[in-house]
Structure 1
């Protein structure tokens, strides 16, 4: 996804047996606050304890109340501002990223912490439907009541800073069948209700300076150039 691995693109959903990242300390040199961040090494330390059973939960993008990254808000703000279109780079629009609502993640943690069947196991947790970025924004819009449309443009037509620096062919699609089958994990609310709660929290706790007004001026010029 972040272009630091040299292996082939994986097209199938990722299972607990799928190969892990080979490059250690993936954020080193890019994020000083994560100089020694490496989940793979943590997994090895946990599962290597002979006297203390452990369980690994591999999580997706987590959304919902108290999301300090406010992943929903950039699109929600555009909807609140009455924008008729949300513009995405075309390959990013089709990129799929596994997600889960925060309360469902908490439920999964409680399940594995209290069920002996989870000892020394690795589980993926994610919604069964892995939405593309376009579909994700459309879900936000549907729950919010936005009547606009997501449109796309090739990267060559957009400012460089508007083009996500990811390998959009590598979807982050997690297969969560194992935790559902072995310990009965299910989501605790519908996708619509989870999004409704998320939107309500984001509206009550908007971040500062998430989107500058002149972004709309630039976007309107691009849309006119694209004939929208």
Structure 2
């Protein structure tokens, strides 16, 4: 199969593209830099916001399927559907589990009761954009493809609503692994590698559950949905079968990192300000993956333990230059000693 991957030289693409090539597919990557693709992969330089400008090389390649890893908005979705409608048979889009209304409840951007979990592909979606412009600007520092009108909800509707282009939407979890620009393991791993005897986990966060996925496993799910025509017109959640609580996640990291300290669960009044969780943490962010497992035969090729080991090794060799998390060990030591914050 001839497969075009938009944004295929990034975090997920660096695993997805070699995997597709190893399966015998012809792969081309569309990116602004035109670099970062491996051997045997065709590189097409272009901007996903100006697809017509790269129409010549894309037409020459003649994709049967297009995987869009960096779709950000409804406007981009409209342009992509219009462009690929008669240039490809399949359009596979990576979306996010932030489309669910449960996330709006979690972040307190929409009123209402807690949403039932696990979230299925038919669960209620958000009614309005989730992020303020300040947050989007911060996201754009990390993910340069993020637009001011970022919102996957209307983008999904446009993609799935086209009568001619066969579309598939894949809702991704919190993806971790080598190359993760968010460094999801770093807040715990740094404290462990700094030989902290005690690591604080706020009580309000300790039991909170979030669906996660190792990058290679997520890439495997995207690949399955691309090569199986039965995925056309369908929406799939991709995530690990068990959503660990925050405490369980920290404990899993500790086992693979070789850390033997203890975790301290602190009440709100005993939690340092920089560790206070935001949002409605009674609302878990857990998705069901029964559909992709039953319909496409999805199974993770890499265990959670192995995924964590690989991620830890990468994190230790590539610490973030500007960590997104504060490390105030003096405040944490005071809390561990039972002193009230600020005392």
TM-score > 0.5, shorter chain as reference: yes
CA distance in structure 2 between the aligned counterparts of 1:45 and 1:163, rounded to whole angstroms: 38
The C-alpha deviation readout for 1:25-63, integer Å capped at 9, x for no partner, is: 211344243531111011011101110010010111000
Structure 2 unaligned spans of 5+: 1-105, 138-146
Tell whether 2:160 aligns with 1:160.
no
SS of the aligned residue for 1:54 comes to: strand
Asked whether the 8 Å contact 1:90–1:155 carries over to 2, the reply is yes
Residue 209 to residue 38, structure 1, CA distance change in 2 (3 Å): closer
Residue 132 of structure 1: how far off its partner (Å): 0.5
CA distance in structure 2 between the aligned counterparts of 1:158 and 1:220, rounded to whole angstroms: 11
Residue from 190, 215, 222 that aligns with 1:102:
215
Partner of 1:27: 131
Residue 209 of structure 1: how far off its partner (Å): 4.7
Asked whether the 8 Å contact 2:272–2:331 carries over to 1, the reply is no
The C-alpha deviation readout for 1:121-156, integer Å capped at 9, x for no partner, is: 000111011000000000000011111122111122
CA distance in structure 2 between the aligned counterparts of 1:31 and 1:154, rounded to whole angstroms: 28
Tell whether 2:166 aligns with 1:53.
yes
CA distance in structure 1 between the aligned counterparts of 2:322 and 2:189, rounded to whole angstroms: 14
What is the TM-score of this pair, normalised by structure 2? 0.63
CA distance in structure 1 between the aligned counterparts of 2:240 and 2:151, rounded to whole angstroms: 24
Partner of 1:17: 122
Residue 26 to residue 209, structure 1, CA distance change in 2 (3 Å): closer
Structure 1 unaligned spans of 5+: none
Residue 97 of structure 1: how far off its partner (Å): 0.4
Partner of 2:27: none
CA distance in structure 2 between the aligned counterparts of 1:14 and 1:63, rounded to whole angstroms: 20
Residue 212 of structure 1: how far off its partner (Å): 6.4
Residue from 98, 119, 134 that aligns with 2:247:
134
Tell whether 2:217 aligns with 1:86.
no
Structure number with the bigger relative contact order (C-alpha 8 A, sep ≥ 6) is 1
Residue 212 to residue 132, structure 1, CA distance change in 2 (3 Å): closer
Structure 1 vs Structure 2 CA RMSD: 1.6
Residue from 111, 117, 133 that aligns with 1:6:
111
Greater C-alpha radius of gyration: 2
CA distance in structure 2 between the aligned counterparts of 1:121 and 1:150, rounded to whole angstroms: 42
What is the TM-score of this pair, normalised by structure 1? 0.93
Asked whether the 8 Å contact 1:28–1:36 carries over to 2, the reply is no
The C-alpha deviation readout for 1:145-190, integer Å capped at 9, x for no partner, is: 1111221111222243321212101101000000000010010111
CA distance in structure 2 between the aligned counterparts of 1:182 and 1:74, rounded to whole angstroms: 36
Asked whether the 8 Å contact 1:57–1:124 carries over to 2, the reply is yes
Tell whether 2:190 aligns with 1:77.
yes
Residue 107 of structure 1: how far off its partner (Å): 0.6
Tell whether 2:322 aligns with 1:217.
no
Asked whether the 8 Å contact 2:120–2:237 carries over to 1, the reply is yes
CA distance in structure 1 between the aligned counterparts of 2:245 and 2:329, rounded to whole angstroms: 24
Asked whether the 8 Å contact 1:26–1:37 carries over to 2, the reply is no
CA distance in structure 2 between the aligned counterparts of 1:32 and 1:111, rounded to whole angstroms: 31
CA distance in structure 1 between the aligned counterparts of 2:320 and 2:286, rounded to whole angstroms: 28
CA distance in structure 1 between the aligned counterparts of 2:315 and 2:289, rounded to whole angstroms: 27
